[in-house]
Amino acid sequence: MGFSLAERLRRASPRTGTPLITVGVTSYHDAAVISRCLSSLVDQTLSKDQMEVLVVDDGSSDRTTPLAKSFSTAAQWAGFEVLAHKSTGSPSKGRNTILDSARGTYTFFLDADDYLGPEALRALTRAACAQKADIAVGHYVGVNRSAPNILTPKHAEHPGGYHAGWLNSLHVQKLFRTEFLRGLSYRFNESLIYASDHPFMISAFLHARQVAEVPDTDCYFITLEPGGQNSRGHVSRAEIPAVKQLQFLHDCFGILALARGAGGQRAKLSGRMRIDYWNRLLKLHLPQLVLRKDQNDDAAITALAAQASVLAELYGARTSRVQLIEGSQQMLAALSSQDAAEIYETAQRLRSAAT
């Protein structure tokens, strides 16, 4: 006899005292917004006795942690804890703490300056359980910014299987099966100060047996302050030196190279992902980084281009095995030119075509 979905959800957490989900919140100087974030957890339609909340703060000197602690009695949580460590300038240490500490069958990463729609956790856990998925991805809503949604092709090979559209959504704010997370060989790299999500999600997508998509529920509201930067106080993306800013790519392509060396189906998948990721980087991500530089700062623009060109050579973007689409080819040529005006104009053209 089959079980109802509600019963399957209950059985997903069979051990006494095991929550269905751990929501891990990373914060830094978020006193102005953390109440909005945690209120969105109180407002979830999922029963609060199935939710453990872990807030990990990156050394804030404002009222972020006392405000977070005030929510410990806001609902009948399965658990609620606020932890803090010295400032690192990145959410990676906090996310590793969450990964180690989570008691839930599922884990969801949430940034304190963002918030959830009321149906988010219920819809995501239901989808993950129904499809036996390692990852469940909800619909992102951009607030003063674009939203990193999966771009689903019209004809996917099979539901829940890999397609290039996954790589449009490399933010880590997703639902994961906790045992799956702990089985990955890659953890958040605490030395990265930019884009630490990318290698983690490359590893997760590479090894996931099934990914559930919940495109019809507004799950995650990803925000940016109207002035163009959030109030967290972490280093601005525009101010990071090029070598540091692109350091995450070493981890991304290292993960893919290890999988290729292992052989089998995962090696084939890693080869596809490598091509798809280069196309995403060159057509979308690197143009965005160029446009965040001061248009009149030729030195910053050419330094970014020079480092990107070095990595393109190192990780095979110019080899015949990497089939670049037209826009990617244009950006790669512009990066190689070391002409700041050409680089900036190509980035503008590609971004305009994408919107």
Rounded distance between C-alpha atoms, residue 295 and residue 287, angstroms = 12
Interval 169-182: pLDDT, tens? 999 999 999 999 99
Interval 259-300: pLDDT, tens? 998 889 999 999 999 999 999 999 999 999 999 999 999 999
Higher pLDDT, 110 or 16: 110
**Secondary structure letter of residue 17 according to DSSP:** T
Q: The dihedral of CA 253, 257, 259, 265: what is its sign?
A: positive
**Secondary structure letter of residue 215 according to DSSP:** E
Q: Which of 183-197, 225-239, 283-297 has the lowest mean pLDDT?
A: 225-239
Instruction: Please provide the average confidence, as pLDDT, over all residues in the chain.
Output: 91
212 and 128 Cβ atoms separated by less than 8 Å: yes
The domain locations on the chain are 5-223, 242-354
Rounded distance between C-alpha atoms, residue 103 and residue 253, angstroms = 31
Tokens at 274, concatenated: 């490598």
**Secondary structure letter of residue 320 according to DSSP:** T
Kindly tell me if the per-residue pLDDT of 324 is higher than 50: yes
- Please report the pLDDT score of residue 3 as a whole number: 41
- Residue 317 burial by CB count (10 A; 0-12/13-18/19+): exposed, middle or buried? buried
138 and 220 Cβ atoms separated by less than 8 Å: yes
- Please report the pLDDT score of residue 6 as a whole number: 47
User: What superfamily does domain 5-223 belong to in CATH?
Assistant: Spore Coat Polysaccharide Biosynthesis Protein SpsA; Chain A (3.90.550.10)
Q: Angle CA(144)–CA(163)–CA(251) in degrees, nearest 5?
A: 75
Q: pTM of this prediction? A: 0.91
| Mean pLDDT of all residues in 249-256 | 98
Q: Of 302, 187, 301, 195, give the one whose Cα is nearest residue 246.
A: 195
